Amino acid sequence: MNLSEKLARNLRALRGQQTQETFARKLGISRATLTRLESASQNTTLQTLDQITKSLRCDVGDLFK
């Protein structure tokens, strides 16, 4: 499993039953970006990862376990 697939799996798990729209708003990213990240069809930037980790109050490593 590559890094984008690990990130995709973990974002889906963290989202749980929330809609993509709600979760994306919480993360401070667009729903379209979240959709692409959750399907591992888009690489992310360090800036986006930083925004996600701040919003979730976690370390970047937690997103790739």
Q: What is the CATH number of the domain that holds 46?
A: 1.10.260.40
Does residue 10 lie within any of the structural domains?
Answer: yes
**The model's pTM:** 0.86
Closest CA relative to residue 44, chosen from 56, 57, 34, 54? 34
- Rounded to an integer, the average pLDDT of 24-33 is 94
Q: What is the Cα–Cα distance from 7 to 5, expressed in whole angstroms?
A: 5
Total domains in the chain come to: 1
* Phi/psi-derived region of residue 25, left when phi > 0, alpha when psi is between -120 and 50, beta in every other case: alpha
Q: Dump pLDDT digits (tens) for 34-57.
A: 999 999 998 899 999 999 999 999
Q: Dump pLDDT digits (tens) for 54-63.
A: 999 999 999 9
What three-state secondary structure class fits 18? coil
